[in-house]
Structure 1
Amino acid sequence: MRKEGEIYFEVKYSKKVKIPECPYKCKGCKDKREYIVRNGKAKERIIKAGKVGTQRIYLIHRPQRYMCKKTGKTFRDEKISYRWQRITRAETENIVKGLRKMSISATAKEFGVSVRTVSNLLDSIEVKVDWTKFQDMEDIKLGIDEHSFRGFKMVTTIVELNTSNTIAILKSDKKEELKGFLNKIPYEIKQKITEVAIDMRASFKNAVKEELPGVKVVADHFHVVKDAQKKLRESIKIEEEVTNNNKKIPVKLFFLNGKKLLKEKKKVKKLYKTLKEHPYLKEYYRYLLMLKWMYKAETYEEGKRRLHILIEKMEESEDPQVWRWAKTYIRWEKEILQYFVNRTTTAKVEGRHTHIKLIKRISFGFKEVLRYTKKHNHPS
Structure 2
Amino acid sequence: MLLTLLKYLKHYIELIKLETSSNIITVRLKKRKVICEQCHIKMHFHGFARQRKVLIGESSWIVYRPLRYICPRCRRTKAINIPSVKPKARITEECKGQIIKALKYRVSINEVAKRYGISHTTVTRLLRSYNTTIDWEKFEGDLRLGIDEHSFRGYDMVTSVRGLTTHTQ
TM-score by length of 2: 0.59
Q: Relative contact order, CA 8 A, sep 6+: which one is greater?
A: 1
CA–CA distance in 2 between the matches of 1:126 and 1:154? Answer: 12
Find out whether 1:46 has 2:53 as its counterpart. yes
Structure 1 residues 156 and 107: alpha-carbon distance in aligned structure 2, compared to 1, 3 A threshold: closer
Q: Classify the secondary structure of the residue corresponding to 1:142.
A: coil
Q: How many residues align?
A: 143
Q: Is the 8 A contact 2:25 2:63 kept in 1?
A: yes
Find out whether 1:60 has 2:63 as its counterpart. yes
Structure 1 residues 36 and 141: alpha-carbon distance in aligned structure 2, compared to 1, 3 A threshold: farther
For residues 214-245 of structure 1, give each alpha carbon's deviation from its aligned partner in whole angstroms, at most 9, with x where no partner exists: xxxxxxxxxxxxxxxxxxxxxxxxxxxxxxxx
CA–CA distance in 2 between the matches of 1:8 and 1:149? Answer: 35
Find out whether 1:86 has 2:102 as its counterpart. no
CA–CA distance in 2 between the matches of 1:14 and 1:117? Answer: 31
CA–CA distance in 1 between the matches of 2:167 and 2:127? Answer: 25
Q: Is the 8 A contact 1:8 1:59 kept in 2?
A: yes
Q: Is the 8 A contact 1:142 1:158 kept in 2?
A: no
For residues 339-369 of structure 1, give each alpha carbon's deviation from its aligned partner in whole angstroms, at most 9, with x where no partner exists: xxxxxxxxxxxxxxxxxxxxxxxxxxxxxxx
- The 5 A counterparts of 1:296-307 are none
Find out whether 1:96 has 2:100 as its counterpart. yes
CA–CA distance in 1 between the matches of 2:103 and 2:168? Answer: 18
CA–CA distance in 1 between the matches of 2:99 and 2:129? Answer: 13
Q: Classify the secondary structure of the residue corresponding to 1:9.
A: strand
CA–CA distance in 1 between the matches of 2:158 and 2:109? Answer: 22
Structure 1 residues 70 and 145: alpha-carbon distance in aligned structure 2, compared to 1, 3 A threshold: same
Find out whether 1:19 has 2:34 as its counterpart. yes
Task: Report the CA distance between 1:67 and its aligned residue.
Answer: 4.5
Task: Report the CA distance between 1:18 and its aligned residue.
Answer: 5.4
Structure 1 residues 45 and 73: alpha-carbon distance in aligned structure 2, compared to 1, 3 A threshold: closer
CA–CA distance in 2 between the matches of 1:86 and 1:97? Answer: 19
Find out whether 1:129 has 2:130 as its counterpart. no
More helix by share: 1
Which ranges in structure 2 are unaligned for 5 or more consecutive residues? 1-18, 152-156
Amino acid in the other structure paired with 1:143: R
Amino acid in the other structure paired with 1:114: S
Q: CA RMSD in A?
A: 3.9
For residues 234-260 of structure 1, give each alpha carbon's deviation from its aligned partner in whole angstroms, at most 9, with x where no partner exists: xxxxxxxxxxxxxxxxxxxxxxxxxxx
Q: Is the 8 A contact 2:33 2:42 kept in 1?
A: no
